[in-house]
Amino acid sequence: MRSSCTGPETKVETLRLSLRPETTEIHLSTCTMKRNTATVASFLRPAAAAVLLLLFFGWDEQAWAHPVDRPLSPVLRHPQTYQDVRQVSEHYQRIQAKDDEDDTSMRTIPKVDTNDHHLEICCLHANILDYYLTNILHHTNNDHAHVHRLKTNLHRISTDLQAHGCNVTQYHDHKNAVDFRTKLEKMEKKKGITKAIGELDILFSYLQDYCVEPRNSTAA
C-alpha cells in the first residue's frame, strides 16, 4: 500500500514569484518518493498562466499611467502630412544643392532652447509657420505635386495652434524668429525661398515635438 504524501517525510518547497507590488508564493508539496512528472507539470501550467496574466495587467496599468501626449493639432500626427513635408522639403533641398554654390549646411531655423517651456517653443514656431504661410509658400506656384495639399494642412495647423492660445504676433520679436527672418533677408529672394522650404522638415519636427498637451496635465 502506498504511503501518503502527508506523512512526516513530506518536504515542502516554496516557489516565490516576484510581482509588483506584492510577492506571490506558491507552495509545492513534494514527497520523498518519486512523483509523477505529468502531475507536477499540470499544476505549474495554470500557475504560469496566472503569473503572465498578472504581469500583463501590471504592464497595462503602466501604459495607462504614461499615455501619449495629445497634439494641439491632429494634423501634426497625420502620416500623410508627414510624408508631404518630407517629400517637399527634399525636393527643394535638391534644388538648392544644384543651384546654390553657398554652403547648403547653413540653416535658417535656429535650434531651440530646451530649457524653455514646451508651449513657448510651440508658439515661437507657430510664429515662424505663420511667416511661411504669408511670405514664403505662396511663391511656390505648386511646382511639386503635394505643395497645394501641404499648404492647406499647414494652414489648418496654424489655425488650431492659435485656437489653443498661441498668439503668433507675440513672438515676432523673439530672438529665434528675428534670426530666421534676418538670414532669409540677406539671401537673394528666390534662393531664400528655396532654402526656407527645404527646412520645412525642421519646422514641422519642432511643431510635432512641442505643440502637445500632456495627458497628465488634463487629468490633474
- pLDDT tens by residue, 110-160: 999 999 999 999 999 999 999 999 999 988 766 777 888 999 999 999 999
pLDDT at 101: 58
pLDDT at 14: 43
At 51, is the pLDDT very low, low, confident or very high (cuts 50, 70, 90)?
very low
% the chain with pLDDT above 90: 53
pTM (two decimals): 0.66
Please indicate whether residue 88 or residue 13 has the higher confidence score (pLDDT).
Answer: 88
Place of cell 518547497: 13
From residue 3, how far is each of 46, 47, 87 by CA, in Å? 27, 27, 79
At 98, is the pLDDT very low, low, confident or very high (cuts 50, 70, 90)?
confident
Within 10 Å of residue 53's Cβ, how many Cβ atoms? 10
Q: Supply angle C-alpha 59, 60, 61, rounded to 5.
A: 90
Could you tell me where the beta strands, DSSP code E, fall in the chain? 11-18, 23-30, 70-71, 212-213
